Structure 1
Amino acid sequence: MERTMSPPERLAAAHLPAGVAERWTALLRPAVRLTRPDDRRSPMSGPVVGHLGGLPELPANEPWPVWEGNGPLSFVASVSLFALGGAALDIPLPDEGTLLFFVSYGPGQVGDGVPGLGPEGQRGARVLYVPEGTPVAERGAPEGIEPYHRVRLSAEPEMTFPDREDFWLGDLVGAQTLDDLPEWADVFRDALDDLGPDVRHRIGGHPTGVQGGVGLDDLGEDEDPDDWVLLAQIDTDHRAWMDWVHQGTLYWLITRADLAARNFAAARFTWQFL
Structure 2
Amino acid sequence: MTEDWSTDFAEFVRAELPTETAERLIGLLRPAIGLSAAEDGEIVVGRLGGAAKLPTGMAWPLRAGGWPMSFVAELDCGKLSGYEVDIALPDTGTLLFFVSAEVSQSQVIHVPPGTTVAELPAPDRAEVYAELPLAASTEPSWPARNHPALVDLFGSLDEAEEAVWDRVLDEDAGETFAEELLMYEGAWDSGPPHQVGGYSDALHTPVEAAAAHDAGTGWYGDPAFQEEARQWVTLLQVAEETRARMIWGDGAYLIWGIRKDHLAARDFSKVYVHIQGH
Q: Which residue of 2 aligns with 1:267?
A: 271
Q: Which residue of 2 aligns with 1:140?
A: 121
Q: Which residue of 2 aligns with 1:227?
A: 231
| 8 Å contact kept, 2:232–2:259 | yes
Shift of 1:173: 8.9
Gaps of 5+ in 1: 40-44, 106-113, 116-120
In structure 2, C-alpha distance between the alignment counterparts of 1:238 and 1:15, rounded to whole Å: 36
In structure 2, C-alpha distance between the alignment counterparts of 1:101 and 1:176, rounded to whole Å: 36
Shift of 1:197: 3.0
Q: 1:57 to 1:173 in 2, by over 3 A?
A: closer
Q: Which amino acid aligns with 1:204?
A: G
1:145-172: CA deviation from partner (whole Å, max 9, x where unpaired) = 2410110111111110001111388746
Aligned residue for 2:269, secondary structure, equals helix
In structure 2, C-alpha distance between the alignment counterparts of 1:177 and 1:10, rounded to whole Å: 17
In structure 2, C-alpha distance between the alignment counterparts of 1:17 and 1:175, rounded to whole Å: 9
In structure 1, C-alpha distance between the alignment counterparts of 2:22 and 2:183, rounded to whole Å: 14
5 Å matches for 1:22-37? 22-37=23-38
Are residues 1:152 and 2:152 paired?
no
Specify which of 206, 210, 213 is matched with residue 203 of structure 2: 210
Aligned residue for 2:78, secondary structure, equals coil
| 8 Å contact kept, 1:15–1:187 | no
Q: Which amino acid aligns with 1:258?
A: H
Aligned residue for 2:97, secondary structure, equals strand
Structure with more contact order per residue of length (Cα contacts < 8 Å, sep ≥ 6): 1
Q: 1:245 to 1:6 in 2, by over 3 A?
A: farther
In structure 2, C-alpha distance between the alignment counterparts of 1:125 and 1:205, rounded to whole Å: 20
5 Å matches for 1:93-132? 93-105=89-101, 114-115=102-103, 121=104, 124-132=105-113
Are residues 1:199 and 2:192 paired?
yes
Q: 1:48 to 1:92 in 2, by over 3 A?
A: same
| 8 Å contact kept, 1:99–1:127 | yes
Q: Which residue of 1 aligns with 2:220?
A: none
In structure 2, C-alpha distance between the alignment counterparts of 1:94 and 1:262, rounded to whole Å: 7
Give the fraction of aligned pairs with identical amino acids, expressed as a percent. 35
Gaps of 5+ in 2: 151-155, 170-175, 218-223
Aligned residue for 1:67, secondary structure, equals coil
Number of aligned positions between the proteins:
251
* Bigger proportion of residues as helix: 2
Q: Which residue of 2 aligns with 1:247?
A: 251
TM-score (norm 2): 0.81
Q: Which residue of 2 aligns with 1:79?
A: 75
TM-score (norm 1): 0.82
Q: Which amino acid aligns with 2:197?
A: G
Q: 1:9 to 1:59 in 2, by over 3 A?
A: same
Specify which of 168, 178, 199 is matched with residue 182 of structure 1: 168
In structure 1, C-alpha distance between the alignment counterparts of 2:8 and 2:135, rounded to whole Å: 20
In structure 2, C-alpha distance between the alignment counterparts of 1:240 and 1:18, rounded to whole Å: 43
Q: 1:159 to 1:66 in 2, by over 3 A?
A: same
Q: Which amino acid aligns with 2:25?
A: W
Q: Which residue of 2 aligns with 1:66?
A: 62
In structure 1, C-alpha distance between the alignment counterparts of 2:71 and 2:53, rounded to whole Å: 10
Q: 1:241 to 1:142 in 2, by over 3 A?
A: same
- Greater shift, 76-85 or 8-17, is seen at 8-17
- Greater shift, 190-199 or 151-160, is seen at 190-199
In structure 2, C-alpha distance between the alignment counterparts of 1:70 and 1:91, rounded to whole Å: 33
